[in-house]
Structure 1
Amino acid sequence: MHTVAVLALDQVIPFDLSTPIEVFTRTRLPDGRPGYRLRVCAERPEIDAGAFTLRAPWGLDGLAGADTIIVPGTADPMAPLGTAVHDALHAAAANGTRIASICSGAFPLAATGLLDGLRATTHWIAADALAAARPAVEVDPDVLYVDNGQILTSAGAAAGLDLCLHMIRRDYGSAVAADAARLSVVPLEREGGQAQFIVHDHTPTPKGSELEPLLVWLRDNLGRELTLADIAARAGVSPRTLIRRFREQTGTTPLQWLHRARIRRAQHLLESTRHSVERIGAQVGFGSPTAFRDRFRRTTGVSPQAYRRSFS
């Protein structure tokens, strides 16, 4: 039997806390035995959970010997991480314990340094803040969860459920995970690379910057076939200067920004219309349905049709 320790920090988000408890306690092996033993651990006996106070049966010593540690989201993700929690998570990682975060739980996990050099995700609305606070972490705001082997991160609370089912599948196989999904009345099919349900027209625009008018123009002209030379001409600068300014102000290149904006517009159209995949690809500026499908899959991890089935 695997032991899962759920680490409750101050101002823990109740739903994020309850998600792994519910999923792992519902997991049964083919012979009917429980698949997991659960521990709720905290630095102090009582933890502020917003609407109520949580009494944790285990202290930080409960993290020792656990096979998996879950760090749920917290309402104050930028709160300093206590030394005792920092050291306990580092000791667990050194012992090979699997550590996973849900939603804003990526912030305290990143504060330990355990995410440095790794790809990670969090709720899309907090992704920029995580990237700014922890530049050594490669933050991907567009996926449901990221599995680095020992260290895993997930987006919002629903994605935390996807991550828990993914870990069950890793531990016991697809049949046990599917049974746990049925008991939780959720689908098993959502893979980690699938995009988060985000505000798709909101491609980051640095407000007040010299690029802002150009980025607004690009969003208004996604359906046109635009080259780097076209974009540079619109900006009134050389392609080389444009690339440099884009990297400085957006962290990416003009064409990468454009492709991302097109995919986000396509996500919105897949959710909100019944237009064919071919028509949507043309609307957002792809020259062929094949090119659109390929770019969409590489960006989101799923096909346009699979995305529509999940989110429309």
Structure 2
Amino acid sequence: MKAVGAMAFGGPEVLQVVDVPEPHAGTGEVRVRVHAAAVNPTDTLMRAGLTSLPGVLPPYIPGQDAAGVVDEIGKGTVTDLRIGDRVMAMVMPNGPLGGAYAEYVVLPASWVTRAPVGTGHAEASTLPLNGLTARLALDLLALSPGQTLAVTGAAGGFGGYMVQLAKADGLRVVADASPADEDLVRSLGADLVVARGDDVGARIRQAVPEGVDGLADGALNGRPLVTALRDGGSVAALRGTHAFGAPERGITFHAVYVPDYRGRRDKLDQLRGLADAGAVTLRVAATFAPEQAPEAHRLLEGGGIRGRLVLEF
């Protein structure tokens, strides 16, 4: 089958179309004919060799978001999915079969759920990884309706879902944005918008003098954001808590590790329901053929992309 992978780690140019053996579903598994795979920052880290891939041999196949059609169900698999169902899934690329940049992926049935109604494959592929990451961050923060959440990187994939899911949870949201993104961030549901930048923590505190109850750091600003929090507040950190330094004022730090939600079909179904209801917006910035994967990675690493870049198979 066709896949996009790298024989060695490096820049976007190492990505190439490769031919790898076609996988088949075993007991407890389903196979998805992938039609779309979203391109995420974690994919660029894997391609560059900055993530752990113990025992994985080249070609290294990135991709953590897949959307397509169920085309094979393993013998003895208990599932309500049927051949031909349009589905989406989060994929873990650190296994022997690699990630979602491939014509077929085989996954435990609990990792796969139906795609939102009325969406194309490209749109559906933008939801699993970023949506589950945002859902996990909110679950770790455990805020109550009426409390205030700050979101940095609100115009991005994770940040946008964070704003929308927080509003669905009944939270008040203050978010950052550049002038060009302010209308977008407001349209996602942010109650207050402040200018992004190195001192965004101080601007959030100015907008919310009592301090916010929780903070999701999608822009990876780190320690300077602590000033935005009230005593006893909490932080959801995407790449570990080390960037925030030692705890102070009773503030707690939560590392958001999205593999903790692999197999949580209940959480993925919840996201699907919100997308069906229009409470979550699926944003595709551009689509690419597999041969154009290097270009997609270059664009993503260049920054400023609003919505997800998607490979179509």
- What TM-score does the superposition give when structure 1 sets the normalisation length? 0.27
Which structure exhibits the higher relative contact order, with contacts defined as CA atoms closer than 8 Å and separated by 6 or more residues? 2
Structure possessing the higher radius of gyration over alpha carbons: 1
- What TM-score does the superposition give when structure 2 sets the normalisation length? 0.27
More strand by share: 2
